[in-house]
Structure formats: structure tokens, C-alpha cells
Structure 1
Amino acid sequence: MTQPHWPAERLWEQLSPLAPTISVEVVARTGSTNTDLLERARRGDTAPCLLVAEHQTAGRGRQGRGWQSAPGDSLTLSLGRPYAPREWSGLSLAVGVAVAEALHEQVKLKWPNDLWLVDDHGNGRKLGGILIETLALPSGAPDRYAVIGIGLNVGQPASPDDGRNRTAALCELDGQLTAPTALARLALPLWQALQAFEIDGFGPFVQRYAARDLLCGRAVHTTQVDVPDGIAAGVDPHGALLVHTAAGIRRIESGEVSVRPC
């Protein structure tokens, strides 16, 4: 197999004017890039870092679900940094907007943290996901150490997802798109989105999210007891999912809610 050429130095040149102490690292194999950065922060190393793994053996998604990856078929990365937004609500949605816009117009967002590839007929399959984890910093600092993990299928579509849909891959959009080229597209927009969110929150991202919203206008079923079924009606300025039900518009805020097109 041809070894991928990772644009680590070029990405550092792009990011360092915005984050002078940032490091860009690529490792051949690790358990989880999110776990690695969180463990560093616990030991006191809280400098900004973009960590990429060619092969991640113990990746995870929301609610502890595993994320399987193979060398060349996936892009798995984590961006860690001290972070102090005025409000955390909607952060995963803002990250999703930055990633989707950087990749392709057919990449859409499924609330709260999934990226889907949607064809011209509106049919979609999961392309990847976002996992954000935070850690309190010592000495009562107002900010936290935030780790933004992103996993994307790049190579051949994987095994059936959730027993119903096959996953998608970036190679379906562009046969020349590799993990390194996808990383080169999204790293700087991701950092810029984090900067903007830290200052202004999710509000300025609402319209951009709406342009990528996979669920809006679709019948959905949720696991939230008081909102079992309804029609997705977009998101509010705090990133909550709006669902039109027989009782009116309801807001869903919890990251543990599962929302799927009926």
C-alpha cells in the first residue's frame, strides 16, 4: 500500500498565525485520538494540538458506540485546545457546518452530530460523526480543555449501518479524495469556526446549518418520551432541534436523544 502524504507542515503554517503554540501530529496507530489528547491534558499538557491517526483501534462515537477505522479508509482526527465559549450549546452543530462546507455541497448534517452524504433524490447515508469531550482545567480556570473528534469514511463504504443503511464514503464524491486531502480542506475552517463560536455562539451558524439540515421537513421519531413523533422544523439559535407535534413546537436539547427519519 502506498503510504499517504500528510500535509502536517502546511497545516501548521496555516494554523500557527491563529494559534502560535499549536502542534500538528500524525501517528500511524493509536487507540483513540480523543483519549490521547484528554490524557495529555490531565497530565498538564493543554497546548493546542491537531492529532491525526492513520489507524484508530478504539475510536468511539456518541453514547459509547464504537467507531471502526482502517488505514486509508478513514480520516480520524482530534483537535484539542483550551476553550471558553460564552455558551456551549450548539458547538457540535457549528463544527458540523464547518466540516460539511469544507468537503462538498452534498454533505449534509443530521442533528446533533452526524455527517451524511445525500444524493440528488434526497437519499442519504452516514458519512461520519463528531464527538466533543471536555475536561476541567486546574486552578479554577474559566475555560475547559475541549477535544473535538471527527471521524469520516474516506474509502470504500463500510458494513451496514444500524442494520438498515449502508455507510457512505468521500470517494463517492471524488475518487481522488483521500484522508490527507480531506484533512487539508477542513483543518483551517474548523479552527476558524471554533474561534467564531467562542465569541458569538451558535447564532451566526443557524442559517448555514439550515442549508445543510438533513432532517428539516421530515417526519421523525425520537426517544424523548414527551416528543415521540413529529416533523423536524430546524434548529434554534441555541442548537436545539425543533419538532412540530400535535401539541405545537417542542425543543429537544439533550445530546442523548436519537432522531431518525421515519
Structure 2
Amino acid sequence: MADSLTHHAEAVWQAVVPSLPGFTVEVLPSIDSTSSELMRRARSGMLEPVLLTAEAQTAGRGRLGKGWHSRPGQSLTFSIALPLAPSSWSGLSLAVGVSLAHSLHPDVRLKWPNDLWLQQRKLGGILVETASTGEATQGLRMVVIGVGINIARPETAAVTALAPAGATVAAMAPAGLAEVLVGVTPGEALERVVPTLVQDVLAFASQGFPTFAQRFARLDALQGLSVRLSDGTQGTACGVTEEGALQVLTAGGMQSVTSAEVSVRPC
């Protein structure tokens, strides 16, 4: 293959390992889920930082039980596992989104808490999970950051088929990175985002979300929009707090929304 994922993964390793000793990169043709695999390893005691990427995922996972559509050559799916001990984990998925958006394209925006948007359509998703390392060091956990980015624009029918059972809202027509970066490959996108993402996650660990807050505000796709929460509450999105909670002005006043089991849709 003229533009292999492996070739770009090697370049990623060379860029990251000087500042992250012990970092490794693995490329697989297919896997159930890169995040599921790294979480399995983390729970079994893996402590080394690693990037795992695959040409295809057969059981990719998103937030709130949603699936992720992944086809060889048509999408980029990867997960990074890092041992971290930040003073607060709040806002990590937002910081990851800020990093990815800036690396991908100036037109990419962020839909709280974990979606990449391009021209009001979903371009990608982020899933952040943690596992205890069993280490005595207080607060040290393995964080697994899973990322899925559409390179080509998926067919709407394929995305609809991945919606959770009982979903009543039709899936939004997705976007593809190739719409704004013509000819881009999954390997090129991987090399484009991972080195900066690692540095930004390490910066988050030492400085927290406040250092990313202004950058997030400039990319906030929901700012000023009417939104509806999964519990039926409606209001106007008013940015996020320094802990990364969404601020929604409702009829009953300002409500801070955390990411736990809550979805937000523009009305």
C-alpha cells in the first residue's frame, strides 16, 4: 500500500518517544475496539504508554453505548493509553477535543462533551476511560483516550444502523475530513494529530482544563444555541465552566451539566 498506516505510525513514534520514554505504537488490520483492548491491558497491570490503531474496528464504542462506524481506509480509529495523575480529571475530553480540532482543520468545531463537528455535522468522536493501575502513587491511573474520525463521509444509513436500540431521533448526516482536506488518508491524519495530542494531554495532567478553556470557547459549536438535554430540559448553551461542565440557561435558571449519562442536541 502506497500510504500505509504503519509508515505513518513509525513517524508518530519517532516524534513522541523523545518526550515520552517507553512509548510504543501498534498497528493492527482489525480489532473489536482499540479502547476495549487497551482497557483490558490496563486492568491487567499494563503501565507503559501506548498508541494502538487499527485499519478497521468490528465493535467500536462511543459515549452512552453508541457504536462507531469504521471502514478500512475510510476512517481513522486509534486509542492512546497513558499513566496520569492530574489534580482533576474534569474537562479531559474537552482538552482532547481542542487538541484534535486545532491539528485537523480550522473549520473543525467542538460539540460538548466529546464530538468533533465539521459544518454542523459529526466528524468524529472521543471516548475517555480510566483504570486503576494498582500503584501506590496517589491518583495515578491509566487513561485510555479513544478517537474515531471519519476520513470519507459515511453513508447516513450505516450510521443510523449503529444508533442505540429505541433511539427516536434520526442520526445526523455525518461529515468526512476529506471534504476539507482532499485526498487525506487515515495515516496522514494519524500523524497530523497524535504528537500534539500527547503533548496536550501531558499539559492537561500538569495544568488542568483551565489552560484549555479559552481555546475551547473559540471552538464551541453550541455557544448561544437552543439545546435540549436527554431529560427533556431545554435552554440556551452558555459555554462551559473551568471544570468543563456545560452551562445551560433554562427557565429555572442556569444549570451546570456534567457528561454523566447526559446527551445534548441543538433544538
Q: Which of 143, 148, 164 pairs up with 1:146?
A: 143
Residue number in structure 2 paired with 1:121: none
Residue number in structure 2 paired with 1:131: 127
- By relative contact order (CA 8 Å, sep 6+), the higher-ranking structure is 2
Residue number in structure 2 paired with 1:157: 154
Query: How big is each residue's C-alpha offset from its partner over 1:90-128, in whole Å with a ceiling of 9 and x where there is no partner?
Result: 00000000000000111110001011102xxxxx11111
Deviation at 1:64, TM superposition (A): 1.6
Q: Which of 157, 165, 184 pairs up with 2:191?
A: 184
Q: So what's the TM-score if we normalise by structure 2?
A: 0.91
- SS at 1:46's partner residue? coil
- SS at 2:20's partner residue? coil
Deviation at 1:139, TM superposition (A): 4.1
Residue number in structure 2 paired with 1:4: 4
Contact 1:112–1:255 at 8 Å: present in 2 too? no
Residue number in structure 1 paired with 2:242: 237
Q: 2:137 is aligned with what amino acid?
A: A
Q: 2:175 is aligned with what amino acid?
A: A
Residue number in structure 1 paired with 2:45: 44
Deviation at 1:3, TM superposition (A): 6.1
Contact 1:110–1:214 at 8 Å: present in 2 too? yes
Query: How big is each residue's C-alpha offset from its partner over 1:15-38, in whole Å with a ceiling of 9 and x where there is no partner?
Result: 011111000111111111011111
- Distance in 1 between residues matched to 2:155 and 2:51, nearest whole Å: 26
Contact 1:94–1:193 at 8 Å: present in 2 too? yes
Residue number in structure 2 paired with 1:221: 228
Residue number in structure 1 paired with 2:106: 105
Q: 1:232 is aligned with what amino acid?
A: A
- SS at 1:7's partner residue? helix
Q: So what's the TM-score if we normalise by structure 1?
A: 0.93
Task: Establish whether residue 64 from structure 1 lines up as the match of residue 65 from structure 2.
Answer: yes
Deviation at 1:44, TM superposition (A): 2.3
Where does the alignment leave 5 or more consecutive residues of structure 1 unmatched?
119-123
- Distance in 1 between residues matched to 2:197 and 2:171, nearest whole Å: 31
- SS at 1:166's partner residue? coil
- SS at 2:214's partner residue? helix
- Aligned CA RMSD, in angstroms, stands at 1.5
Q: 1:78 is aligned with what amino acid?
A: S
- Distance in 2 between residues matched to 1:138 and 1:29, nearest whole Å: 30
- Distance in 1 between residues matched to 2:223 and 2:189, nearest whole Å: 27
- Distance in 2 between residues matched to 1:95 and 1:147, nearest whole Å: 12
Once the two structures are overlaid, the 10-residue window that deviates more, 106-115 or 135-144, is 135-144
Residue number in structure 2 paired with 1:15: 16
1:196 to 1:77, Cα distance in 2 relative to 1, 3 A: same
Contact 2:25–2:51 at 8 Å: present in 1 too? yes
1:93 to 1:75, Cα distance in 2 relative to 1, 3 A: same
- Distance in 2 between residues matched to 1:137 and 1:19, nearest whole Å: 18
- Distance in 2 between residues matched to 1:255 and 1:77, nearest whole Å: 23
Where does the alignment leave 5 or more consecutive residues of structure 2 unmatched?
160-168
Q: 1:261 is aligned with what amino acid?
A: P
Once the two structures are overlaid, the 10-residue window that deviates more, 1-10 or 212-221, is 1-10
